[in-house]
């Protein structure tokens, strides 16, 4: 039968949740509209801007071009999942505040998730690596402060994100 | 998107069975092309076959004969990071030049080979498009087409869109072949024969038959070392060149020059290759080859600037390829 409804178990920020979704729902829309996680933003919805970046098994991907069902069985990490459960912001989140690295804030979760994925993958070892590694658009033009924020945490030992 | 049934085959044989059952099915790998086209209403499959759960489509390894075999659903980032590609340095450069890091983690080798053009008239169903609907006409011809085909009979063709892949240009230069599975069994097709020129029928970009699936890409061991990929712009290529040179006793004894972003398929610059044969490499020789590379181009007022761009990327790719070729004597 061509029933487009699926029952899926998605593991997001360490928690497994079962949802019933139309097969057309992207991971981005599943996170925002079905799981109440609004931190991941919809920028272009066509994979070009990076605002919807999340980590899939620790690797950064644009969630707007991923069907929710393809994420089944994989660990999804969103911006909501990187701060310590007991309170303090993730060092990179704090660095974005300390370095005034956002204006409207819309690209910010994607910038942070993209940076964390890049650092974990070894794509950013020094500040000089940041421009080539990042590729997230910031329409407000906060790039200089974004780079400064990321550069400031590169020496930090506490960058691992909770899967 | 139109509604679809979602299927998750555990392997190639199951995927083939699903393709045979549902002629309007589409296969999903990274989703960076298909999902975009589905959002635009250009692709409207009744069934989506998710290839991400089939282990026999994954992997990268060098065979005992020295061939690099890459499973079609292997991500480009996995390929770029793999030590297996050390013998094919052109691959790393092409992949990193071709996509953003997020897309490299999603996009697959097979999907990149099978991707569809970026022409905005193709991607917007409100416009006349011979690719979407044979005989409907080509809105790009009368519209904005500065990034469309320079080669391949563009003037008389049903479609003037170009193949957008960077990786395919390198794969063609490296003499790669495609492993294909289908209802009639398995077959191998040279990559240079996989992509097709539209002629009068623009509906398909490849010679894959209905019910067939690209399962792997094979790249043979290379006689020419190094190689270079140069793109004339950021993003999808307005003109690009993959060049490989073989040197012996200070003379060029082998050359391969492929152009990207200029035709419905990766384009071989055969006249440019011939201009290099048995010659000593000099900037003047490379300028002659670059000029030969634009022979046969059919520019118009919008695309004319790209002729110079082709010339420039060929000259630069040859210089870089020379620096990496070493001498095999």
Q: Is the pLDDT of residue A157 over 80?
A: no
pTM of the predicted model as reported, rounded to 2 decimal places:
0.94
Q: Tell me how far apart the alpha carbons of residues B233 and B137 are, in angstroms, rounded to a whole number.
A: 29
For chain B, where are the alpha helices, taking DSSP H only? 12-21, 34-39, 76-81, 89-98, 101-106, 109-114, 139-142, 167-173, 191-194, 270-276, 283-293, 305-325
Interface test with A, best of B52, B100, B124, B236 (most A CBs within 10 A): B100
A114 touches chain B (CB under 8 A): yes
* Residue numbers in chain B where pLDDT is lower than 50: none
The answer to whether residue A137 neighbours chain B at the CB level (below 8 Å) is no
Average pLDDT estimate for A78-83: 96
- ipTM of the complex, rounded to two decimals: 0.91
Output the pLDDT for position A156.
78
Q: What is the pLDDT of residues A97-106, one digit of tens each?
A: 999 999 999 9
Q: Summarize pLDDT for A14-39 with one digit per residue, the tens.
A: 999 999 999 999 999 999 999 999 99
Residues of A in contact with B105 (CB under 8 A): 56, 59-61, 117
What is the structure's pLDDT at A158? 64
Q: Can you give the pLDDT at residue B98?
A: 82
Task: Write the DSSP string, A61-107.
Answer: EEGGGSBGGGGTTSEEE-GGGSS-TTSPPPHHHHHHHHTT--SS-SS
A162 has pLDDT over 60? no
Strands (E), B157-276: 177-182, 185-190, 213-219, 228-231, 240-248, 251-260, 267-268
Closest chain A residue to B1 measured between Cα atoms? A24
- Token look-up 């992997």 returns B59
What is residue B22's predicted lDDT score, i.e. its pLDDT? 94
Cα gap B40→B50, rounded to integer Å: 19
Confidence of residue A163 (pLDDT cuts 50, 70, 90): very low
The strand order across the sheet containing B5-7 reads B5-7, B47-50, B25-28
Tokens describing residue A45: 């919805």
| pLDDT for residue A11 | 98
């Amino acid at each position: 039968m061509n029933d487009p409804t699926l029952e899926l178990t998605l593991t997001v920020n360490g928690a497994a949740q079962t949802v019933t979704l139309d097969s057309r729902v992207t991971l981005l829309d599943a996170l925002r509209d079905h799981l109440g996680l609004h931190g991941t933003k919809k920028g272009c919805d066509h994979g070009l801007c990076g605002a919807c970046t999340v980590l899939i098994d620790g690797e950064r991907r644009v969630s707007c071009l991923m069907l929710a069902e393809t994420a089944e069985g994989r660990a999804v990490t969103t911006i909501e999942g990187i701060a310590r459960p007991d309170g303090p912001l993730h060092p990179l989140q704090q660095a974005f505040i300390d370095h005034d690295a956002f204006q409207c804030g819309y690209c910010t979760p994607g910038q942070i998730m993209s940076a964390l994925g890049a650092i974990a993958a070894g794509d950013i070892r020094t500040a000089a690596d940041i421009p080539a590694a990042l590729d997230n658009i910031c329409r407000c033009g906060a790039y200089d402060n974004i780079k400064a924020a990321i550069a400031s945490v590169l020496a930090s030992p506490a960058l691992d994100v909770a899967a | 998107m139109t509604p679809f049934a979602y299927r998750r085959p555990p392997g190639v044989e199951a995927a083939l069975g699903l393709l045979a059952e549902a002629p309007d099915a589409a296969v999903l790998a990274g989703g960076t092309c298909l999902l975009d086209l589905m959002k635009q209403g250009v692709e409207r499959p009744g069934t989506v076959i998710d290839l991400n759960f089939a282990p026999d489509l994954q992997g990268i390894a060098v065979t005992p004969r020295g061939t690099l075999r890459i499973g079609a659903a292997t991500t480009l980032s996995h390929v770029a990071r793999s030590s297996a590609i050390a013998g094919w340095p052109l691959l790393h450069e092409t992949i990193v030049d071709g996509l953003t890091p997020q897309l490299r983690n999603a996009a697959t080798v097979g999907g990149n080979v099978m991707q569809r053009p970026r022409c905005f008239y193709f991607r917007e169903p409100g416009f006349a498009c011979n690719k979407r609907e044979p005989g409907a006409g080509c809105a790009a011809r009368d519209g904005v087409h500065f990034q469309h085909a320079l080669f391949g009979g563009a003037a008389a063709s049903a479609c003037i869109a170009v193949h957008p892949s960077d990786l395919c240009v390198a794969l063609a230069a490296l003499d790669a072949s495609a492993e294909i599975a289908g209802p009639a069994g398995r077959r191998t097709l040279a990559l240079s024969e996989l992509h097709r020129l539209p002629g009068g029928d623009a509906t398909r970009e490849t010679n894959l038959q209905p019910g067939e699936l690209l399962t792997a890409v094979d790249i043979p061991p290379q006689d020419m070392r190094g190689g270079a990929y140069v793109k004339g712009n950021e993003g999808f290529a307005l003109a690009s060149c993959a060049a490989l040179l073989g040197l012996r006793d200070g003379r060029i004894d082998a050359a391969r020059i492929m152009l990207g972003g200029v035709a419905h398929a990766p384009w071989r610059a055969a006249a440019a290759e011939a201009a290099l044969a048995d010659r000593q490499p000099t900037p003047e020789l490379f300028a002659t080859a670059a000029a030969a590379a634009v022979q046969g181009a059919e520019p118009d007022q919008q695309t004319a600037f790209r002729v110079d761009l082709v010339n420039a990327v060929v000259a630069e790719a040859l210089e870089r390829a020379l620096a990496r070729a070493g001498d095999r004597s």
